[in-house]
Amino acid sequence: MKYISTRGQSPALSFSQILLGGLAPDGGLYLPERYPQLSDADLSAMRGLSYADLAFAILSRFVDDIPANDLKTIIDKTYRADVYAYTRNGQSAADITPTLKLEENLYLLSLSNGPTLAFKDMAMQLLGNLFEYVLTKEGKTTNILGATSGDTGSAAEYAMRGKKGIRVFMLSPHKKMSRFQTAQMFSLQDDNIFNIAVNGVFDDCQDMVKAVSNDAAFKAQYKIGAVNSINWGRIVAQVVYYFKAYFAVTQDNSQKVDFSVPSGNFGNVCAGHIARMMGLPIDKLIVATNENDVLDEFFKTGVYSPRGSANTYHTSSPSMDISKASNFERFVFDLVGRDSDKTRALWSKVDSGGNFDLNADGYFAKIADYGFVSGSSNHAQRMQTIRETKAKYDVVIDTHTADGLKVAKAYFDKNTPMVVLETALPAKFEDAIVEALGDVPERPAALAGIESLPQRFTVMDASADQIKDFIIKNT
């Protein structure tokens, strides 16, 4: 299986060759040259597999340059009950991604039982083990440089801590993350994890990462790597739980299922799109946004109009506060019939601050063939959904999941199973839950008092030279 760029001007590469990188050299995103196709018999053989065995059955169709035994070992080491242990509502950790029935045909898919209480652990933990394997095999090292406003940084650090050949330099805006998120990251004492609190906002952190990445000589000499949301390894790992959920809520492969996905960078729902393209019987893929509704606007009108960081709202579902969806190009590439010239032309508009309209040439009319629909939610609706879910089902959900459930209800026809992806546990966003319910949400016992642990971090001004110096001194 080779991987091609959506912009068509980079050579096709293997899985291990694209694993450690980000964008393709032509600025595009990597996708497999074709999606593996699963027959009814393939699906039946997968039904009933454990999470790890299912992950191997799926990932081995995308990875052909890691020996099968090694891939199996990496997967078994990743998807263990003791890694995804923070279950609630009487669920079993052995399921890794248990489903919770709210009412007939309405389910939550628990994806947030990993170490940082958000769905990003599902893919990032695998990436940590894959990175270590590939680097060790090739005798290489990497210095991962990233910027975070909370969820991505913590997931990356918990996945990479203690890994051979890997250092993580994670920039976050000083005093702008929640106390819990700060404590999660800054209490890590591993030698290979460097937390840098930047005097500035998230965009300042991102600008520092960009400035370093644009310095090709520095980037090469210090082996700067990334684990951002466009990483193909993250997307493909997320494909697995769509299958797991499908088998959990159906009896046979003639049934179709709808998924509602709280979305920001379009990574999670892109994995659902790929599962559907492989032949998983998904009817609708529901893209749920918050007030930052660029994607909802696209799926309703055919116009994609990114807003820029100055016009991004800060909401109570902050991990979806994104106005330019970095993985969206992958879907559009498929939608335009994998025409890389067309994709390149569309993104030359986006990259120069413009927008595009897919109503011409009949592209937008084809969206229905891909199952996509969308909706958005706002603060009041989110609070209302959290309250209703508690009152009706005695289940506490977080603000992002609430956006997903709110939008799901508009499409729920009661006959088709609807699975809402739970992208974080409520304990991660305590203040919003207190606002909705008046009570502090339950927190996993192992994380009680995490705010009072000693913290390890360096404060720095928003300067590319300062972070470069810091990397030089610490490698």
Ligand X SMILES: *Cc1c(COP(=O)(O)O)cnc(C)c1O
Query: Which residues contact ligand X (rule: CB under 6 A)?
Result: 118, 120, 151, 229, 262-268, 319-320, 400, 423-424
* DSSP-based three-state secondary structure for 325: coil
274 vs 460 by CB, closer to ligand X? 274
Find the shortest distance in angstroms from Cβ 21 to ligand X: 19
The one-letter amino acid at 396 = V
Taking the least distance from each CB to ligand X, the nearer of 167 and 428 is 428
Q: State in angstroms the smallest separation of the CB of 11 from ligand X.
A: 27
- For 267-307, the three-class secondary structure string (H helix, E strand, C coil) is HHHHHHHHHHHCCCCEEEEEEEECCCCHHHHHHHHCEECCC
At closest approach, how far in Å is the CB of 468 from ligand X? 28
Nearer to ligand X, 322 or 467 (CB): 322
Using the minimum distance from each CB to ligand X, give the nearer residue, 132 or 334: 334
Smallest gap, in angstroms, from Cβ of residue 422 to ligand X? 9
CB of 411 to ligand X, least distance (A): 18
Closer CB to ligand X, 234 or 244, in the complex? 234
Q: How far is the CB of 153 from ligand X (least distance, A)?
A: 11
Q: Which residues, in sequence order, are bridge partners of residue 26?
A: none
Beta-carbon contacts of 208 under 8 Å, excluding residues fewer than 6 positions away, are: 147, 171, 198, 462, 463, 464, 467
Residue ranges in 32-80 assigned as alpha helix (H): 40-46, 51-59, 68-78
- Smallest gap from Cβ 70 to ligand X, in A, equals 28
Q: Indicate if the alpha-carbon torsion angle 441, 443, 448, 452 is positive or negative.
A: negative
Phi, psi of 108 (to 5 degrees): -105, 140
Q: What residues does 418 pair with on adjacent strands?
A: 106, 258
66 is written with which tokens? 């890691």
Query: Which CB atom, from 99 or from 319, has the smaller least distance to ligand X?
Result: 319
Question: Minimum distance from CB of 142 to ligand X (Å)?
Answer: 22
Residue closer to ligand X, measured from CB, 118 or 205 = 118
CA distance 447 to 352: 44
Whole-number Å distance between alpha carbons of 217 and 336: 36
Question: Which is closer to ligand X, CB of 200 or CB of 267?
Answer: 267
Q: What share of the chain is helix, strand, coil (3-state, %, to 5)?
A: 45, 15, 40
Q: From start to end of 317-366, where are the E strands?
A: 356-357
**Known catalytic residue at 120:** yes
Write out 140-205 in H/E/C secondary structure: CCEEEEEECCCHHHHHHHHHHCCCCCEEEEEEEECCCCCHHHHHHHHCCCCCCEEEEEEECCHHHH
Instruction: Report the residue count for the chain.
Output: 475
Q: What is the DSSP letter of 313?
A: P
Which sign, positive or negative, has the C-alpha torsion 366, 369, 370, 372? positive
Of 471, 472, 466, 469, whose CA–CA distance to 208 is shortest?
A: 466
Shortest spacing between CB 401 and ligand X, in angstroms:
8
Distance CA 181, CA 22 (A): 25
Is the CB of 10 or the CB of 327 nearer to ligand X?
A: 327
Q: How do beta strands 458-461 and 193-199 pair?
A: parallel
Q: Which two tokens stand for residue 270?
A: 């892109």
Catalytic residue, candidates 77, 101, 120, 406: 120
Active site amino acids: 120
